[in-house]
Amino acid sequence: MLPFRSLASLVAALLLLAACAAEDLSQPVKPIGDFRLGHNIVVAPQPQQGPFSRDATAEELTGALADTIDRRLGRFDGDGLYHLGVHIGAYVLAQPGLPVVYTPRSVLMFEVTVYDNETQEKLNDKPHRITAFEGLENTAPIIGSGLARGKEEQLENLAREGARLIEAWLRENEAWFEPDPDGGRTPFDRDAERARLAVRSGAVSGVGASN
């Protein structure tokens, strides 16, 4: 087993490498046709917790993924309007293992469906399944993710990689987002809509609790 001092130095080096490799989302982005993000609905009704995983609530899982999707896909400003439905099915937030001997990996599994606001139809017949790990820049192959970082950072890395994979999938299907020269631009305030949905969800929960 590695001496504690050597282990601590290795952890610090890995974290520094990850910080240096993080993607800068403030840079200009290449459009995906006329794509613009509308509703971004992430649910986790019964997420399956994998083996050797730290605990996470459905709210923690959905909040992390929804926020990172907003940050990444909210940069696109086409005239079209498209909504995402995301269903989280399973996760592993790796517990500390034994360096070199056993290093569990973190993973987030979810499905995505894209809806066209104009036609009110799904663009993909079957939900697209995504399996996100923590990303190459955040791997810790020798000591494992569980020793290198805490639960919150693991979840943030998984959500960031998941959002990146969603963008990559949308780019693979750019034909869905062909601009319509005769189409207009539908106004949409995502922050206001998100707040409205949160209020509605809270009201429904309150009714359920009172019954």
The half-sphere exposure of 59 on its side-chain side, counting CA atoms within 13 A, is 1
Are the beta carbons of 142 and 100 closer than 8 angstroms?
Answer: yes
Domain range list for the chain: 33-178
CATH topology of domain 33-178: Double Stranded RNA Binding Domain (3.30.160)
> Which of 115, 116, 56, 120 minimizes the C-alpha distance to 88?
56
CA distance 20 to 50: 30
0.85 surpassed by pTM? no
| Rounded alpha-carbon distances, angstroms, from residue 12 to 4, 5, 94, 100, 127 | 12, 11, 18, 17, 39
Per-residue pLDDT of the chain (211 residues; tens, 9 = 90+): 434 344 444 444 444 444 445 577 778 899 999 999 999 999 999 999 998 899 999 999 999 999 999 999 999 999 999 999 999 999 999 886 444 334 678 999 999 999 999 999 999 999 999 999 985 544 544 444 544 567 899 999 999 999 999 999 999 999 999 998 887 898 898 888 878 877 766 654 554 544 5
